[in-house]
């Protein structure tokens, strides 16, 4: 007994007009002897996937723009640190999908999440918080610290500094102010 062979496949062009680009030259099985029409088979492969193009349309919501700016800043800092999204997620103990949504400006991160991201990226928490709009801008902060109170308070409040370091920094800062008056 000989093995059963399937009929050879061939491309058959249809004569009917159709809107589908797959209707012309669709794969078909050759017709059985004596018949005039070919038997068509369904396509064996899916149509090619088309990549969606995302166009950046400026939003009317300034808060959305600020979230997108924060996400872009975090993404750029992550790339500068040569970290993948997964590695940053491990360092911050925040889920990978949530970090991705933050980077795309889809979610507003909490202060705790921003601080953990700042720690992982070696960026000051104040920088990220100001990018998120949770702290006043540096220009506004500079105007309010013309008397030096804000800078001195920040030095005193920094938990990473010892008392000796705080005293030394305050001395340097005050001498700088005295010279540049």
- Report if residue 57 sits inside a domain: no
Q: Are 40 and 28 in contact (CB under 8 A)?
A: yes
Please indicate, yes or no, whether residues 151 and 111 belong to a single structural domain of this protein. no
φ, ψ for residue 124, nearest 5 deg: -65, 145
For 133-156, write each residue's pLDDT tens digit. Answer: 777 654 444 444 554 457 888 888
Neighbours of 148 (CB within 10 A): 13
Calculate mean pLDDT across residues 157-175.
83
Range of 28-32, 53-57, 62-66, 152-156 with top mean pLDDT: 152-156
pLDDT computed for residue 164 by the predictor: 86
Question: What are residue 26's DSSP bridge partners?
Answer: 12
Element containing residue 12 per DSSP (H, E): strand 9-12
- Report if residue 29 sits inside a domain: no
For 112-136, write each residue's pLDDT tens digit. Answer: 998 899 999 988 888 887 777 777 6
pLDDT computed for residue 166 by the predictor: 81
pLDDT computed for residue 94 by the predictor: 93
Please indicate, yes or no, whether residues 92 and 144 belong to a single structural domain of this protein. no
Calculate mean pLDDT across residues 46-63.
57
- Report if residue 106 sits inside a domain: yes
Q: Are 31 and 39 in contact (CB under 8 A)?
A: yes
- Alpha-carbon span 99 to 120, nearest angstrom: 13
| This prediction's pTM | 0.45
Please indicate, yes or no, whether residues 109 and 87 belong to a single structural domain of this protein. yes
Element containing residue 65 per DSSP (H, E): helix 62-80
Nearest partner of 138 among 150, 147, 122, 149, judged by Cα: 150
Please indicate, yes or no, whether residues 107 and 161 belong to a single structural domain of this protein. no
Please indicate, yes or no, whether residues 170 and 118 belong to a single structural domain of this protein. no
pLDDT computed for residue 143 by the predictor: 44
Rounded (to 5) percent helix, strand, coil in the chain = 50, 5, 45
- Two structure tokens written together for 35: 């018949």
pLDDT computed for residue 78 by the predictor: 92
Average pLDDT for the chain: 72
Q: Which domain holds residue 172?
A: 139-180
Q: What is the domain count for the chain? A: 2
């Amino acid at each position: 007994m000989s093995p059963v062979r399937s009929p050879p496949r061939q491309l058959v062009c249809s004569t009917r007009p159709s809107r589908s680009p797959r209707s012309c030259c669709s794969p078909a099985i050759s017709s059985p002897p004596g018949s005039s029409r070919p038997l068509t088979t369904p396509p064996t492969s899916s149509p090619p996937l088309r990549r969606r193009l995302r166009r950046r349309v400026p939003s009317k919501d300034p808060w959305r723009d600020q979230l997108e700016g924060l996400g872009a800043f975090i993404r750029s800092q992550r790339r500068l640190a040569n970290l993948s999204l997964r590695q940053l997620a491990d360092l911050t103990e925040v889920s990978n999908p949530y970090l991705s949504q933050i980077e795309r400006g889809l979610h507003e991160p909490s202060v705790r999440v921003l601080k953990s991201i700042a720690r992982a990226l070696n960026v000051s928490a104040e920088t990220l918080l100001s990018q998120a709009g949770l702290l006043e801008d540096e220009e506004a902060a500079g105007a309010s610290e013309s008397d030096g109170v804000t800078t001195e308070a920040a030095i005193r409040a920094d938990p990473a500094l010892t008392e000796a370091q705080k005293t030394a920094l305050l001395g340097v800062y005050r001498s700088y102010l005295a010279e540049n008056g």
